[in-house]
Amino acid sequence: MLLKATDFGNDFIWGTASSAYQTEGAYNIDGKGQSIWDVFSKTIAKTKGSAEKGCDFYNRYLQDIILMHYLNIRNFRFSIAWTRIFPDGIGKVNRKGIDYYNRLIDFCLEMGIDPWITLYHWDLPQALENKGGWTNRNIIHWFEEYVQTCLHHFGDRVKHWMVLNEPMVFTGVGYFLGIHAPGKKGLSNFLPALHHAMLCQGNGIRMIQAQQGLQAGTTFSCSPVHPFSDNPQHVEAATMVDTLLNRLFVEPLIGMGYPIKSLNLLRQLEPFVKQGDEQLMHCVPDFIGIQNYTKEVVKYNLFMPYIRAQLIKAHERKVPITAMNWEIYPQGIYEMLKQFAAYPQIKNIIVSENGAAFHDKLIHDKVHDPERIAFYQSYLQEVLKAKNEGIPVKGYFNWSFIDNYEWAEGFEKRFGLIYVDYPTGKRIVKSSGYWFREFLCPTVKKEKLLEQSTFAA
């Protein structure tokens, strides 16, 4: 069946997504302060380069938004760099940072593109990390000041807000495994970071909802978790991993509290929980964003600490994978939409990220990426299946618009509809970008505004 956007209904929201640190570059321009990723990428993790220049979206946003319009994309999810607003995390507002995002928002609207803001996409000010970052309970107040400032300056034009991007990832991978910024490890860092992020998530949504006419949500990374077999030990291990990956941040938000019965480890949160915290972290959002890329298969392992569970890597299971070594499993997005829709408190779901990295090759100024087209077609079929079954999925944002800095993977992993030649900054529409353009509006006539597939530096 030939899939097209109109199959989803005329009110379905179609968009694309990016984040500040991964695309903007200009890391020390116009008063911007250092973030934890500015420091981590250079001095701690020794990752494959840093995003100091990145995709140079900071200077090229006009070109990129015009290109977005050309591809018929009418909703753009991007994040605010906290350090452009408050170079030191709190205190004096950086006027040049405010002006930049005002220009970006205004140009999006001029081009008929609705801006969706993510308030926190992992780039905490280093000045706040020096005070403990997410492990310091004072971050509740720091974050509140940041959110209020953004609402004051941008809330008159931006109607859709996402508070946190994938809190389980930035707390788990950044404060437990130490693979991402700020590179901290262990439960003593993870547990307070987890709880304080939970409090900021609820409080941030509440602050946005207090502003008339604004819609507030947050986003969750999620993957279906399957047991290796029907052995009861494997099933129990899968339940614990599902609790950790998929339930931990949503259930306290909607008033169910921490899922302690399914994950005994959470009992160790008790020293960090204060009176009234359960009410503070509870705030039913107007929508949630789910971000699905793959699935996990789990088996019991007695020697794994805390959860007695081990993930079986996709390549060991001989399944189709992306360049990230993630399993291509289209049914997974259907499973996760169904799982989150089972919470009666959740009335609206947006797929706020979905996409794939492949080994794109630039040949004669063209990028042919049929694997990515097949990926989108198969995953969107599952989104449509969910919608047709009555699951309240209201929109879909692809990840990502342009190739960008993929955190600890550096620039090697490319997710974009647009190929970025990093040495020159040239933008080249991939085959998947043209496919997406046609999918969104198959009857549109070719525009004369942009006749070339290559855009000069």
Q: Which of 166, 296, 327, 335 is an active site residue? A: 166
Measured distance CA(106)–CA(101) in Å, rounded: 8
| Catalytic-residue membership of 166 | yes
Q: Are 295 and 327 in contact (CB under 8 A)?
A: yes
Q: Residue 349 forms beta bridges with which residues? A: 288, 393
CA dihedral 285, 399, 354, 443 (to 10 degrees): 100
The 3-state DSSP class for residue 310 equals strand
Sheet holding 225-227, edge to edge: 225-227, 296-300, 309-311
Q: Which of 24, 296, 327, 353 is an active site residue? A: 353
Measured distance CA(407)–CA(221) in Å, rounded: 15
Q: How does strand 426-429 pair with strand 418-421?
A: antiparallel
Helices and strands in the chain: count of H runs, count of E runs? 15, 14
Residue listed under structure tokens 């097949």: 374
CA angle 330, 201, 182 (to 5 degrees): 80
Buried b (16+ CB within 10 A) or exposed e, 371-397: bbbbbbeebbbbbbbbbeeebebbbbb
The angle that helices 187-209 and 139-154 make with each other, rounded to 10 degrees, is 30
CA angle 386, 390, 392 (to 5 degrees): 80
Residue type, 92: K
**φ, ψ at 142 (rounded to 5°):** -60, -45
**φ, ψ at 95 (rounded to 5°):** -60, -35
The 3-state DSSP class for residue 449 equals coil
Measured distance CA(331)–CA(311) in Å, rounded: 19
**Residues involved in catalysis:** 166, 353
